Structure 1
């Protein structure tokens, strides 16, 4: 029986289809921008579908993984969390070094930003704490993944003493939702086609030319972390060539995250990739949604580089001790960054406060961040999200080597 066009599409190479979607989106936007803008609903529909299924997926998968966990099973969560925190701190430190080597001057102007940044680290930590104890229904509705994770863990532990039929039902529900996620992800090429067409048609990237040096420093730093710092951490963990795993994570997680610009929306993609890599479900069911909240290397880079650009522009001198403190503040603040587009930018005034940068200037830097966000936030999310899978895989395979 000859396969239908839909069957060929569903069984084809997802990466190849995404590449074709990107190229088609760029060409359509360049030669028929009005048509490209009329197809923006394709991208919005795809991102909305991911965001809709992600909260339920995380809640059920986490609860099922914990409830069905066998006694004495090691979930490898501790080493994953260590990698998350060390990776975020190293990314911030790398950003400090690169900012000193390649200082950037910003052109500041009076700009109003309709947003309220946090006043200090305590406020960031306070927000995280209240997210943990959020109402479970509200957490699912609003996409509060730290709250979803907390309730999923709680329900899972409570159901560990349930009868086998209850655990089996929960596992079946988890498998069913995973299949729905798989179907949504198969339409990624069409969604990314719409996102690329919309971005190129609306901006043409002309607005980014005035900030080319800042973008080069930002993207260069993120590439260095993705291709040098993270592989070094993985090599330290596995003692084998890390690049096949690094490139697979960047290709199959980073590309999708680049265009959705949302760590939360990329959770289903990462779950699917972890399944392909044959990782321990009890580990990635928790580590992936947790990584979308606390594994924020890209966010720490953005906070650090934009803050030091403001400091350099104003001619403020700083010492190594202050730079190290900035790295710590950026890493901690990044963990409080929202899992949605632009989540890290409102934390810049917090970091600027370390150097006495006026809040009016800091908010102008935030405005610049939104201008370059088409590229900056996309690259930031790609680094953050792909690293979630990379570090989870590294921890799982390191545990396998010890067995």
Structure 2
């Protein structure tokens, strides 16, 4: 028996990270079903893992972006502009899918949910104002608060300024970036234990009972996200690359979406995406900027959540929604999604702003937000999985494809 257990342990340790995460997931579910009291105590493993990722991600982004820009040689090609175009197209397409799904499967809500703490922005102007203020925030405060807009803006400015520094200075910046990256890889190795604790404690605490009453709403939201992940995004990638997109799509879903689903934070998943881009042999000067930027502005899942929840509120109140207003909602949801923070539940407080398009009062809209928090165990996890995996997918689509496709096919 001891020999068999030892052999099994060696097999698990030699398995790749995705296999180990799958084992941790299955073990977490089994523990939550068999011993809920014990499962609740494993939440510490998940909390430590998420805290470590969130702690290292801002530092990694700052030094990686600054080093990439500082060491960029004149005339060396980058692919940031095509990536940004794909981010924009993908987010707008996701919002359009959410509108179509909401019309095809209209959903009504029971608006008797409790009030939610928090103040939503007053409109698009409020969102843009917050983005601008975040960009000029104190750099030290931005690092402490994981304000990725501020981190990106300061890293870009520092990188540009250091392009004229001595080779020794730029080399030191590269060395610091590499050292932080090694720390990130160490943290990622503990992902199976962290996900085991997250799954076990979440299932033991919440269960699925709270979700059953909102099954139709969840089906529309998650169904829209699955459609975007498996149909719309592959079409966009095929349009860009003229290659079979599915090896790359499935690689991104398997190696990025799974961890993002459980961390529920695009910011925390940045190190995972960086590592995946490196394995796909993507252009480092591109992904070192596009991945942190995507975690901030590429929010297709958030656009879906905002759109579906807003239209559900409109259907509940008997408000007729015409096609021009639906198209305007797509644009508003997409712009609002760019202002979503890369943390769990970031999209929900933007629902009242979208509800204002239909004259829905803030009091009613905040009840919709409360329902969003009830279903967020699944909704926010699926949203983050779509957002984060799409960052890698569109970055790979915009980069030269030969190496990426070959690596994805082998993964």
For residues 275 and 137 of structure 2, the distance between their equivalents in structure 1, rounded to whole angstroms, comes to 27
Gap change, CA 1:154 and 1:399, over 3 Å in 2: farther
Paired position in structure 1 for 2:408:
none
Paired position in structure 2 for 1:391:
394
Contact persistence 1:106–1:310 (CA under 8 A) = yes
Contact persistence 1:146–1:289 (CA under 8 A) = no
**Residue 166 of structure 1: how far off its partner (Å):** 1.1
Contact persistence 2:57–2:270 (CA under 8 A) = yes
For residues 216 and 35 of structure 1, the distance between their equivalents in structure 2, rounded to whole angstroms, comes to 31
**Residue 39 of structure 1: how far off its partner (Å):** 1.0
Q: TM-score under structure 1 normalisation?
A: 0.96
**Residue 397 of structure 1: how far off its partner (Å):** 2.3
For residues 400 and 149 of structure 1, the distance between their equivalents in structure 2, rounded to whole angstroms, comes to 28
**Alignment equivalent of 1:137, drawn from 131, 134, 140:** 140
**Alignment equivalent of 2:383, drawn from 360, 380, 387:** 380
What SS does the aligned partner of 1:73 have? coil
Contact persistence 1:26–1:197 (CA under 8 A) = yes
Paired position in structure 2 for 1:342:
345
- 2:317 pairs with 1:314: yes
What SS does the aligned partner of 2:213 have? helix
- 2:76 pairs with 1:82: no
Contact persistence 1:10–1:186 (CA under 8 A) = no
Work out the number of aligned pairs and report it: 399
Contact persistence 2:282–2:403 (CA under 8 A) = no
- 2:247 pairs with 1:219: no
For residues 375 and 396 of structure 1, the distance between their equivalents in structure 2, rounded to whole angstroms, comes to 32
Paired position in structure 2 for 1:40:
43
Contact persistence 2:113–2:370 (CA under 8 A) = no
**Alignment equivalent of 1:330, drawn from 325, 333, 343:** 333
Contact persistence 1:43–1:193 (CA under 8 A) = yes
Paired position in structure 2 for 1:21:
24
For residues 100 and 166 of structure 1, the distance between their equivalents in structure 2, rounded to whole angstroms, comes to 57
Gap change, CA 1:153 and 1:5, over 3 Å in 2: farther
**Residue 399 of structure 1: how far off its partner (Å):** 9.8
**Residue 12 of structure 1: how far off its partner (Å):** 2.9
What SS does the aligned partner of 2:340 have? coil
**Residue 108 of structure 1: how far off its partner (Å):** 1.2
After superposition, what is the alpha-carbon deviation per residue over 1:327-374, rounded to whole angstroms, capped at 9, x for unaligned? 000000000011100000000000001011121111110000000000
Gap change, CA 1:119 and 1:176, over 3 Å in 2: same
**Alignment equivalent of 1:159, drawn from 153, 159, 162:** 162
CA RMSD in angstroms, aligned pairs only: 1.7
For residues 313 and 66 of structure 1, the distance between their equivalents in structure 2, rounded to whole angstroms, comes to 50
Mark the runs of 5 or more structure 1 residues left unpaired by the alignment: none
After superposition, what is the alpha-carbon deviation per residue over 1:223-244, rounded to whole angstroms, capped at 9, x for unaligned? 0000001000000011010000
- 2:112 pairs with 1:109: yes
